[in-house]
Structure 1
């Protein structure tokens, strides 16, 4: 019996010695743990609240034990100040939303609950809107339920509250004028294949919504369609300058058009003569983006549109200097670019200054697009666009600071970049 015990003890000692020999002596007890997930490779973010990390993400604990690094795929972003911005993407039906307040050095995970599933990633101005770092809304479009879920926060994502819009197919535009009043445009009816439009208004931060306009699925006569958004047409975006005046851009019968309201979204009328098709007869098709009024001065704004010829596209714009009462076409003397992406690669900071990206080439204007200066080519940007050729979004907060999101052709990976010298040089955030 004693010999058996001695034999078992010897086996245990040998197993312990073997385990010790096989361990890596260079690794400390609190060495980083990485969970591989190739679908999430791309952008590396340093997260400051590790308790919010999803265990399915690729993570690595940093040496101070208080920060984590993750790799994730971003699909959109929005700059809120010269130091603060949001970036997000949806993976495996979960929305992952991050905020930085130090120019991308560190990020905070402010995602809503993973129990709220997203079939696609939200887009700013379509189903995502933030006024500032504290106040924002995210819309989860219908997933086989006929009900859109509207999430809202007023404390930077610490708490998300929920409301719903029943019997809608999809939300196609959202805009908030302030923390209380906002509008949503929906398209389609859950019970039919109709493209009928509806406008909803909230005056209590999105807790409740009232339908203030709808296009009839079947109109009894032409008068039933008066003062409405068009039933047939693709909504591109919406913007309001005050509680009464707003604009919606539409790709209608294949051509850009603009609709205006002067009574808070109840009635809408087409801005006649806004788009002159005869000037663009050589274009095979068009795209149009959301109307945008520049920060701090709602008298000045623009609506960008794209003209496609064969496999090339050029963006140009209609500008206003009187709050949308009148519009002027401004051609851009920039090169045509390959039509391999539907995303707008031109942005304006104000009524004079703008940027246009063509691969690794960055053009800059300070005279409303009359003249464009090709900036010195950034070595880092040139390197990145070889692997990430698609410009997904570009935004400048001031004349120096801008962000750029680029993606691979298969859209599986993306990188968020930043310039702090007006577009001359770029670095990955």
Structure 2
């Protein structure tokens, strides 16, 4: 089913703090987390592209987004129109990752892991654990065989066969209180890095065989982590707009302060991406879009007039942005501004 993007955003602020986006992922504010039968598929809807969407990724030139009620959609025209995929779940999906233009994975409630081998057009269920009663929140792969998923209550899963089998390796982390693990990424020339609840940070320099706890700069929740183009460099972001940068794989951290002339961040941060030109883009609640062109040392801030809660972002071929969150998919220019009425592309 083809769906065209609405070009005029809904007006009115949605008072959703950064922590609430995670609460949504944990199933506190959505009924999509109700237990579903194993053979249930996501409901086809003409308005799926306007539903709550949490994650976005590139499958080559194709855009893929995931979110509420098992919705996965893909676009081959830079977000102008969307096709809803047939997906074997009705649970909230929280993140999506593609290794290349064909192979991708999505995670969500009931500790579900879905896989696609055709660029997101079709999906199969690789893993599910109803007993966890908690979502997986992020996923990444080192290659076509070796991947990791993290989630609520300290969940950490590993596969070494492309997802045919997943092993619980949470015991490798120093996380006795089973605090939520919210994000995982691969850092250039360094290794894997995880962030989570209460400022938790963990890193691995041996492809996940062993993990060391990192002394972080912040005791509040971190919702995600993004690597830059530079070796050993990453940013962690989260509650109340807290943003930190490390150029040494977590040995030391710099708090990123947003100066008045660069804009003021009013809400927390929920998603991030590294776009093709090397810029970093972060999004948050209240319509905040941050962009850095100096490897995350400084950021400009644009607060959208529609004030929508944003959860994810991906770059467009024309330099614009695809934003996802409240109200589904939104096309924007490079700064995050919504198109004028009647425009479709940024």
Instruction: Tell me the alpha carbon deviations over residues 244-290 of structure 1, each in whole angstroms, 9 at most, x when there is no partner.
Output: 931111223xxx13111233334322113x3166xxxxxxxx33122
Structure 1 residue 302 corresponds to structure 2 residue 244: no
Residue segments in structure 2 that go unaligned for 5+ positions in a row:
8-41
Contact (CA 8 Å) 1:153, 1:160: kept in 2 or not? yes
**Which protein has greater RCO, CA pairs closer than 8 Å, 6+ apart?**
2
Q: Which residue of 2 aligns with 1:57?
A: 45
SS in 2 for 1:107: strand
Shift of 1:234: 2.3
Residue segments in structure 1 that go unaligned for 5+ positions in a row:
1-40, 46-53, 60-69, 143-147, 188-194, 216-226, 278-285, 307-312, 408-413
Matches within 5 A, 1:5-404: 44=6, 57-58=45-46, 72-80=50-58, 83-91=61-69, 95-113=70-88, 116-118=89-91, 121-124=92-95, 128-142=96-110, 148-166=111-129, 167-170=131-134, 171-187=136-152, 195=153, 197-214=154-171, 228-241=174-187, 245-252=191-198, 256-272=199-215, 274-275=216-217, 286-294=220-228, 299-306=232-239, 313-320=240-247, 322-324=248-250, 326-333=252-259, 336-339=264-267, 343-344=269-270, 349=275, 354=281, 364-367=291-294, 382=305, 385=306, 389-396=308-315, 400-404=319-323
Shift of 1:77: 3.9
What CA RMSD, in Å, does the superposition of the two structures yield over aligned residues?
4.1
Structure 1 residue 417 corresponds to structure 2 residue 330: yes
CA distance in 2: counterparts of 1:360 and 1:198, whole angstroms: 30
CA distance in 2: counterparts of 1:260 and 1:199, whole angstroms: 13
Shift of 1:58: 4.1
Instruction: Tell me the alpha carbon deviations over residues 348-393 of structure 1, each in whole angstroms, 9 at most, x when there is no partner.
Output: 6587655677857766543456655577x9xxx63xx0xx533343
CA distance in 2: counterparts of 1:130 and 1:245, whole angstroms: 18
CA distance in 1: counterparts of 2:285 and 2:106, whole angstroms: 31
CA distance in 1: counterparts of 2:171 and 2:317, whole angstroms: 39
Instruction: Tell me the alpha carbon deviations over residues 182-232 of structure 1, each in whole angstroms, 9 at most, x when there is no partner.
Output: 012354xxxxxxx4x3532212110012333427xxxxxxxxxxx533434
CA distance in 2: counterparts of 1:259 and 1:141, whole angstroms: 23
Call closer, same or farther: CA 1:42–1:184 in 2, change over 3 Å: same
Shift of 1:399: 8.9
Contact (CA 8 Å) 1:246, 1:261: kept in 2 or not? yes
SS in 1 for 2:200: strand
Call closer, same or farther: CA 1:150–1:374 in 2, change over 3 Å: closer
CA distance in 1: counterparts of 2:291 and 2:271, whole angstroms: 12
Contact (CA 8 Å) 2:269, 2:284: kept in 1 or not? no
CA distance in 2: counterparts of 1:140 and 1:405, whole angstroms: 16
